Each structure stands twice: as structure tokens, then as C-alpha cells.
Chains A and B, each alone.
Chain A
Amino acid sequence: MSKLPDELIELLDDPASIKIVGTSDEDGTPHLVVKGSLTSLDGETLVFAEGFEGTQSNKNLVRSIWFDRKVSVNITRGLESYQIKGRPYKYLITGSTFRVMIDRARARRGPEADIAGVWVIVPEEVRNESPAVKAAEVLQKRGHFHRHLDLLRQAE
């Protein structure tokens, strides 16, 4: 497994970041949920807590680990954004990582907070989707093609 980029780790550690997990249901319909608990504890894998066993998101994740489907994750803070594609590798219902995550949930959301389990995602593709980075990539690859001309006009 590869180390995640430092900038991504910093985004993951920031509570102000918005963290979204994308799964798909049985017929392929996408399902997006915000996961404030999403983080990396080892710098290589992503983990997040699941609150309830029966949610659509959790069923989709179970289907993904059973039938080898990918999931997608987006982490955004302002104009910084990363997209990660990967596969669920483990669902933890007890143990040291589970304990870390339930302790965090209770510290973040209060002593009544509960979690059902913790998903571990192994990233397979990490993309910096920040607009500035994407713009530079497109510029390098396609030049000014498709750029709106008003952005290229001479300043008056």
C-alpha cells in the first residue's frame, strides 16, 4: 500500500473538511453520505465509522466487500479537494481501531454517540481534484481548448 499525500492527510485531519463517501446500490444507483469520522490512522488506508448496520450506505459497503466493488471518497475544504477510489477491505466490529473510532465519536458528538462498526478502505487511486490543480493539468494536456474566451481577452 502507498502512503497517502501529506496534503490529503492534512485535509483528513481537519474537522472543517467535508468528507463524502460514495457507494452504489444493487442496481448501480449512486449513494452519497457525509462521513465526518473519515480519517486515516496509518497514513495508508482510510477509516470511517458507520452508525447503524441497516443504512443504505452500509448495505452498499457490505455488498462492495462481498462482491469486490469499488467505493469513492471525496474530501473537500474550500478550494482544495481530493477524490479517492478504493475498495472496502475490512469491517471492524471490535478491537483497537474500533475503540479509537468510538472514543473519537463520543469526543466529537457527545457521550451518547454510538457506532456500529468501522470500515477500512484501501485506496487504489488518489486524485487531487482542487480547481487550481485540475486547471493546470488541463492546460498542460489540452492547452486553451474549451476555455471561455472572455478569460483570455486582453485586459482593457
Chain B
Amino acid sequence: MSATQEPGLRALAEKYPDFPKSIILKLDLQRRGIEFTEATAHATSQPYYRGPEQTAFSGKDTTRQPLPGPILLRDGTSVLASPVPNQFVDPYTIDYVDGKFYAFDKGERIDEVDFAPRPEFYGKSTSRGVPMDSIAWSRPQRLDIYPYRYCHYWDTRDQCKFCAFFTDLKKQKQLAGDSYAKIVHPEDIYETVREALKEPGRYSQINLTAGTDYSGEVPFENEVDRYIEVLQAIGRNFGSRRFPSQLIAPAYTRQQVKRLYDETGLSSYCPDIEVWDKELFKWICPGKEKWFGRDYWIRSAVEAVEIFGKGNVYTNFVAGVEFARPHGFTSIEQALDSNFEACEYFAKNGVIYLSLVWTPWKGTGLAGQKQPPLEYYVRLVRGLVEIRKHYGLASDNDDFKHCGNHGDSDLERLT
């Protein structure tokens, strides 16, 4: 099916009148990407919006620019999308007109949008002199912290095939910029969180993730120790035993997961399966296959429910990468069946299987590949929500205001 034959936002909104148009827009903003006009770039570099400068990789092109927080749609839905130059074939344009931002599609004004504003801790430094905006980043209601900025899957060329965090081994440290340490000191994290919490109502969740480090006497033990140290440092900021938080991390053993729960205030754990199909998992996630395979990742997520409780364990998948050539699915129905099977399996075991839209970033092994049509994503997220609803699950941790990546959890506002 050619791009011109695929129904777009307007056609799908008419075809699925019981599906919110804003969620279709979100899915398409993430699928097709965005670009800023000069007016938008200027407006978002002003003090209310201005974020830290970020490095954007796009093939051989590397640019640094201050970027605002995630996009906010009128209904409060947050959208994680970056205007990476020369990356997208057919992006939406975000323009700034008469003091407001709008999403445009080929000149047609689609809707008003906004951006999450700059948090008050940006621009401040820890007592050790580390810029706080190099320690934590702000989503609309979530504080993101990457305690370890290196993924060792890349050491052996076993990185996930869709991964765009690093373009090659030499550039890995550029994830956070040359001035930032690979390992973030827990005291810097403690102080940054302490400062961020001074802003009333700004955050309702803390999220940790990092590059994978499988080292240790028991594999992943060093990483688990590091997360425990960081979570304990964060926890000193709270008066409650647990605090709303999520760790997106590799699959750990039951003992390692139990340590994370028992020794910290962590409330949610998310080992990402990335792609459900057994053969595609091997091909797309060779590092995860090596450490220690799909069955281990699935078992880890399911066993974690016994520790964190039903609905507090998640696993994300990169929706669309299951079509990647040359081994991916060739039919929409095949891909939907696979993902619904996964969602059903995880849901009956108390795990939430969440989708996020695949972008075939330049600089990854899947660059230039075609994404599935927008309608696939509409059918997918609706089906996922129906399955989870049947099992009494809804995604509080990764909902519309916390993550910005999941059209399916956005839909759960009515469940």
C-alpha cells in the first residue's frame, strides 16, 4: 500500500468516530515526526520553555539545540517527539502563530498544541557543581533520571536494532553530552530531586532507566546495586516508604527484583520485551537474547508481579518494528495477532504490555524502513486497551501525563 493510499488522521477520525482524534494525532505525530518553524524554535528558546541543549543525531548530521519539554495536546495528552533535522520524510510542522503553537499537516492547521514548560531546577547546580539539568530531565509530570549513560550491548554489537540512543561506540557518551559523567553520583541525584520537588505540583512520578550493564559476580549485579544506591538516595527526599516511581531496566532474577523492592521505595518495574515474536526477538534484540533470552525476560516480568503486585509491572514493545525487513511480518493481521497474544498473556499474569511507536531512526540498523500505516496503530492500541480492561488492568504509571509514548494508556482515561 502506498503512502497516498493510507488513510490519514482525518479519514481515520471519520472511520473510527468512537476513537479520540487527539490520540490518532498523537500516534501520527510520533509516527511521522515533527519539525519546528523558525518562529517555534525562537518561541521555545524563551525562558518559559527553554530546555537544556540536546544533541540530535540524524545519520551524519549532529545538531545541538535547546529543546522544550514534550508536546501537550489540548486534552492534556503528552507526546514525546523531537524535531530532529533531516530525520523525517513527512513530518508535521509545529508553528507559532499569534502567541500560540499549532500542529500543521502540509499547510492545514490541525490543532493547537503546547509544550511542557521549563522546570525551576534547570540552570541550577548540585553542591558538587554538576548542572542539575544534566542529572534529570522533565516531562509534564515526570522526572527522568539516567544514572548510567552507557549500554554494554553495544560493546559486542548486540544493541537492539531499533536503538538510537547511540550512533556508534565512539559517540556513546554523547547521549548526555561530553561534559557529563558516565556514572551519575547518587548525591547529585539526591540533590537534584530535592530541588525539583520544591516546585508545587510539578511531578507525580520519578522514572529511572539507563544503558544496560550486565557485569557483576552474578550477571547484572553491579547494575542492580547501582539502582538500589540511586533509589535510596532519591528516597531520602520522601517521608513515605514508597514513592511513585518506575524503573525501566533489564530482566532480573527474582532475587534481584526482590532486592529492588525490599531495599528501596520503588513502586513499579518495567523490563521491556521490545518485540513479542520469538524469532523477531532473537533478531531485533540480540543483547537481550544473549542475556538470557526471551523466555527469561518474560518470566522475569511475570515473577515480578508477585513482588510489585498486579498492574505494577510493565513491559514495553516497539510497535511497528515487528514489520522490519527482512524478517518481519508482512501483514497487519499477523502483527496484530502477535501483539494481542502477547498482551493477553501478560495481562492474565498481571503485567501491562504497552506499545510505543517505532521510529526507524537514521543511525540504526533499520534506518529508512517503512513504518506500518497509521490505521495499524489505531487498531493496535484499541485492542490492547480492550484486553487489559478485561483483566482489570490500567496503566497508572505510564499514562497520558507521565510518559508521552503510549497511545494505549492514553485511551485508558475512560476506564
Contacts and interface: CB of A to CB of B under 8 A. Distances in A.
B141 A94 contact: yes
A89 B76 CA distance: 10
Nearest to A66: B20
Interface stretch (A16-24, A99-107, A137-145): A99-107
Interface in B118-145: 140-141
Interface in B197-223: 200-202
Interface stretch (A1-9, A57-65, A72-80, A126-134): A57-65
A75 to B, nearest CB: 24
A94 B22 contact: no
A98 B48 CA distance: 14
A90 interface: yes
B100 to A, nearest CB: 11
A59 B72 contact: no
Given A66-B75, A99-B201, A102-B201, A93 B141 contact: yes
Given A53-B413, A62-B413, A67-B20, A94 B117 contact: yes
B401 interface: yes
Interface in B383-415: 399, 401, 413-414
Contacts of A63: 414
Interface residues of B, number: 23
Contacts of B17: 67
B194 interface: no
B356 interface: no
Given A98-B201, A99-B200, A114-B201, A93 B21 contact: no
A117 interface: yes
Nearest to B21: A66
Contacts of A114: 201
A59 B413 CA distance: 7
Interface string B67-94: 0000010111010000000000000000
Contacts of A62: 75, 413-414
B140 A66 contact: no
Given A67-B20, A93-B140, A94-B116, A117 B76 contact: yes
Nearest to A60: B414
A95 B113 CA distance: 13
Contacts of A91: 74-76
Contacts of B78: 93
Contact of A65 (B48, B74, B201, B399): B74
Given A95-B116, A95-B117, A115-B201, A59 B76 contact: no
Contacts of A103: 200
A90 to B, nearest CB: 5
Contacts of B414: 59, 62-63
Contact of A93 (B20, B72, B200): B72
Contacts of A96: 48, 117
A62 B21 CA distance: 12
B114 interface: yes
A89 B117 CA distance: 19
Given A94-B141, A95-B114, A102-B200, A65 B75 contact: yes
Among A89, A98, A117, which residue has the most Cβ atoms of chain B within 10 A?
A98
Interface string B47-79: 010000000000000000000000010111010
A53 B399 CA distance: 11
B72 to A, nearest CB: 7
B72 A94 contact: yes
B237 to A, nearest CB: 17
Nearest to A98: B201
B201 A92 contact: no
A102 B22 CA distance: 26
A63 B20 CA distance: 9
Nearest to B18: A67
A7 B117 CA distance: 34
A115 B17 CA distance: 31
A119 to B, nearest CB: 9
Interface string B1-37: 0000000000000000110111000000000000000
Contacts of B141: 93-94
Contact of A90 (B74, B117, B140, B401): B74
A102 B200 CA distance: 7
B262 to A, nearest CB: 28
A106 B18 CA distance: 37
Interface of B: 17-18, 20-22, 48, 72, 74-76, 78, 114, 116-117, 140-141, 200-202, 399, 401, 413-414
10 contacts: A59-B413, A65-B75, A66-B75, A93-B72, A93-B76, A94-B72, A95-B72, A96-B48, A117-B76, A117-B401
| Pairs of residues from A and B, 8 with the lowest C-beta to C-beta distance, nearest first | A91-B76, A66-B20, A102-B201, A94-B140, A93-B401, A65-B75, A62-B413, A93-B76
Interface of A: 53, 59, 62-63, 65-67, 89-96, 98-99, 102-103, 106, 114-115, 117
